[in-house]
Chains A and B, each alone.
Chain A
Amino acid sequence: MILSLTDAKLDYPKTTAFQHFSLTVEDGEMVSIIGRSGCGKTSLLYTIAGLLPLSGGTMQRAFGNEGVALMFQQDRLLPWKRIIDNVLLGLSKEKTEEAATFLRSMGLGTVMHHYPHELSGGMRQRVALARALIRKPNILLLDEPLASLDEQQREMLQNDIKKYVRDQGITLLLVTHSIQEAVFMGSRIVMMTNKGVSYELKNQLHDDPNLRTRDEFFSMQKTLRLHLEATR
């Protein structure tokens, strides 16, 4: 077990983001959390990252704040820093060589001395991914990081994230409103509303390289869609 939430609840001054949320994540698992907008997905992720404190329930983490890397919906690259320095944000300069090698391995070698505005949206998110992975986190939290990309870039980055996360043995927790993305990325798909988990699905074909073209890929999406409709 790397993460466990029991009857978790988060209150904002005027509303409740989510409540009665329980989830246990095993080491190396890739969990997709799906739900309608406003169901508290992002708040949940921020709570796990340590950015927001729980208002009720308990959370156990087998990692410290240093063991979490959060990738936001927007790339949040600092416009005044070169790509390599954005990746090294908060890290010591001694890691420069390691970061450069890592960027090259991610196909960003030619742009590492560029500024963020010189890159396309897909490249920028790729840099944000590098910034998260260079920290060698125990758990990677993704807050719909691909929502603003076009389909081609999105699929490419989905493949890459899956590959890097698996290669490095990182646990993945992805929050998304895209059913397709949830099924492709997750070995387990958890559907949430602001009253807790409403449905769960195991993706047996998660490791299948041809997942996108398998019939089950579509049937799982259909099942999830029906359940999502039911939460309305």
Chain B
Amino acid sequence: MKYLRGMGVVLLLWYVAAFLISSPVIPFPHSVFIYTLDQFVPQEMHLHLLYSLYRILLGLFIALFFAIPTGMIAGRVPALDRLISPVLYLLYPLPKIAFLPVFMVLLGIGDLSKIILIAIIIYFPASVTIRDGVKEIPFEFLQLAVAYHLSRKQVLKDIIWPAILPRIFSSLRITLGISLSVLFISETYAASYGLGYSIMNYWVMAQYTGMYAAIMLLSLLGLLLYIIVDWAERLCVHPRANM
């Protein structure tokens, strides 16, 4: 429901803009909808959507796969944190997208370089958020773990993991927006599928209705991912886990 209200506001703004500017550069929303419905399959929009979804999910997965242990180690072992955190801080603000040509040369111009770029961009904020989450676990709980003779595995499963799970979700929410815009840029080169490619393709052909259709799909893809993240969080994070 709240998403429908949000869409209503965006649509209203869009109509106002289209009406005021009245140029083919900003088509009316309804024509974009009709175009999307008509051309979804003929223009292979479903394939573009799926390719983008695949790249972003894989990028997120790879990023978390490395960010979770990094954050855990940095949060738990102060000696290693003194090494890890400065490295994270140094590399975090680098414009990773500027290294795109390097990735293209090293990883090829196919899917891999795109996915790795997304993964690297998400890796840094995710690591830092998870590290902070681990550091904020109350000392009392860790002392409890010692007093009640919990094994390393039990400490991880019963105390650390539930405490950082909400952090993982908030880092996902923070990085989803970034990863979608990076996805767009990475799909503008050497791609034949993906919403980014599709947008640029329509742009070059000055086919604005189609371009807006692809932009709208990218936005809906983002919305869908946000809804999934929220839903998954409700499913696996206890509301009181945020101490």
A residues contacting B by CB (< 8 A) are 49, 51, 65-66, 68-70, 72, 74, 76, 78-81, 89-90, 115-117, 131, 135
Given contacts A76-B144, A78-B159, A80-B162, contact A90 B154 (CB under 8 A): yes
Is the contact region of chain B dominated by helix, strand, or loop, or is it mixed? helix
Cα distance, A65 to B154, chains bound together (Å): 17
Cα distance, A89 to B148, chains bound together (Å): 8
- List the A side residues contacting B243 at CB < 8 Å: 79
- List the A side residues contacting B241 at CB < 8 Å: 79-80
Is the contact region of chain A dominated by helix, strand, or loop, or is it mixed? loop
Q: Which residue of B lies closest to A141 (CB)?
A: B147
Q: Are A80 and B147 in contact (CB under 8 A)?
A: no
- List the B side residues contacting A79 at CB < 8 Å: 238, 240-241, 243
- List the A side residues contacting B34 at CB < 8 Å: none
Q: A72-B140, A80-B162 are in contact. List 14 more A-B contacts (CB 8 A).
A: A49-B147, A51-B147, A65-B149, A66-B149, A69-B148, A78-B162, A80-B237, A81-B162, A89-B150, A89-B154, A89-B158, A90-B154, A90-B158, A135-B148
Q: Is B143 an interface residue (CB 8 A)?
A: yes
Minimum distance in angstroms from A15 CB to a CB of chain B: 19
- List the A side residues contacting B238 at CB < 8 Å: 79-80, 115
- List the A side residues contacting B147 at CB < 8 Å: 49, 51, 68, 70, 72
- List the A side residues contacting B163 at CB < 8 Å: 80
Q: Are B140 and A74 in contact (CB under 8 A)?
A: yes
Q: Are A80 and B240 in contact (CB under 8 A)?
A: yes
Q: Which residue of A lies closest to B147 (CB)?
A: A70
Which residues of chain B from 186 to 243 have any CB-CB distance to chain A below 8 Å in the complex?
237-238, 240-241, 243
Cα distance, A83 to B150, chains bound together (Å): 17
Q: Are A78 and B140 in contact (CB under 8 A)?
A: no
Cα distance, A79 to B240, chains bound together (Å): 6
Q: Which residue of A lies closest to B163 (CB)?
A: A80
Q: Are A115 and B141 in contact (CB under 8 A)?
A: no
Q: Are A117 and B144 in contact (CB under 8 A)?
A: no
Best-buried of A65, A76, A80 by chain B (most CB within 10 Å): A80
Q: Are A117 and B149 in contact (CB under 8 A)?
A: no
Q: Are B240 and A117 in contact (CB under 8 A)?
A: yes
